[in-house]
Amino acid sequence: MEGYHVTVFAYGQTASGKTYTMAKDQPGVIPQAVDDVFDHIRRASENQEFLLRVSYMEIYNEQIKDLLNPETVDLKILEDRRRGVYVSPLKEEIVTSPRSVMKVIQRGESNRHVGTTDFNEYSSRSHTIFQMIIESRERGATPEPLAGQSRRVSSAKPGAVAVRFSQLNLIDLAGSEKATTDLERRKEGAYINKSLLTLGNVISKLTDLKTGPAHIPYRDSKLTRILQSSLSGNAKISVICTVSPVINNLEESHNTLKFAARVKNIRTRAEMNQIMDDKALLQKYRQEIQELRGKLTEMNDFFEKEKLQELTQLKQEKLKWEEEMAENQLVRCAQQFYVDFLIGRL
Ligand X SMILES: Nc1ncnc2c1ncn2[C@@H]1O[C@H](COP(=O)(O)OP(=O)(O)OP(=O)(O)O)[C@@H](O)[C@H]1O
190 is in an annotated binding site: no
> Does position 224 bind Mg ion by CB under 5 A?
no
Q: How far apart are CA 91 and CA 214, in angstroms?
A: 35
Q: Of these partners, ligand X, Mg ion, none, which one is at the site of residue 272 (CB under 5 to 8 Å by kind)?
A: none
253 is in an annotated binding site: no
Q: Of these partners, ligand X, Mg ion, none, which one is at the site of residue 285 (CB under 5 to 8 Å by kind)?
A: none
Shortest CB 58 distance to Mg ion, Å: 11
Shortest CB 9 distance to ligand X, Å: 12
12 is in an annotated binding site: yes
Q: Closer to ligand X at the Cβ: 120 or 253? A: 120
Q: Closer to Mg ion at the Cβ: 18 or 164? A: 18
HSE, CB side, 13 Å, CA atoms: give it for residue 28.
19
Shortest CB 18 distance to Mg ion, Å: 5
Shortest CB 125 distance to ligand X, Å: 8
14 is in an annotated binding site: yes
User: What's the burial of 232, exposed, middle or buried (CB within 10 Å: 0-12/13-18/19+)?
Assistant: middle
Note the residues at the interface with ligand X (CB under 6 A). Answer: 12, 14-20, 120, 122-124, 174-175, 242
The interface mask with Mg ion, positions 66-105, x = CB under 5 A, is: ----------------------------------------
Q: Closer to ligand X at the Cβ: 140 or 245? A: 245
DSSP state of 145: P
Shortest CB 248 distance to ligand X, Å: 15
Which of 13, 16, 19, 117: binder of Mg ion (CB under 5 A)?
A: 19
| Contact assessment for residue 123 and residue 116, using Cβ atoms and an 8 Å cutoff | yes
CA angle at residue 134 from 133 to 135, to 5 degrees?
A: 125
| Contact assessment for residue 128 and residue 58, using Cβ atoms and an 8 Å cutoff | yes
13 is in an annotated binding site: yes
User: What's the burial of 51, exposed, middle or buried (CB within 10 Å: 0-12/13-18/19+)?
Assistant: buried
Of 94, 44, 48, 49, nearest to 68 by C-alpha is 94
Q: Closer to ligand X at the Cβ: 10 or 276? A: 10
Residues 6+ apart with CB under 8 A from 11: 18, 173, 196, 199, 239, 240, 241, 242, 256, 259, 260, 263
Strands 151-153, 272-275: pairing is parallel
Contacts to Mg ion from residues 123-142, by CB under 5 A: 124
User: What's the burial of 280, exposed, middle or buried (CB within 10 Å: 0-12/13-18/19+)?
Assistant: buried
Q: Closer to ligand X at the Cβ: 161 or 174? A: 174
Shortest CB 262 distance to ligand X, Å: 20
Contacts to Mg ion from residues 99-128, by CB under 5 A: 124
First-to-last alpha carbon distance for the chain, in angstroms, is: 105
Say which amino acid occupies 152. Answer: R
106 is in an annotated binding site: no
Q: Closer to ligand X at the Cβ: 179 or 289? A: 179
Residues at the binding site for ATP are 12-19
- Contact positions vs Mg ion (CB under 5 A): 18-19, 124
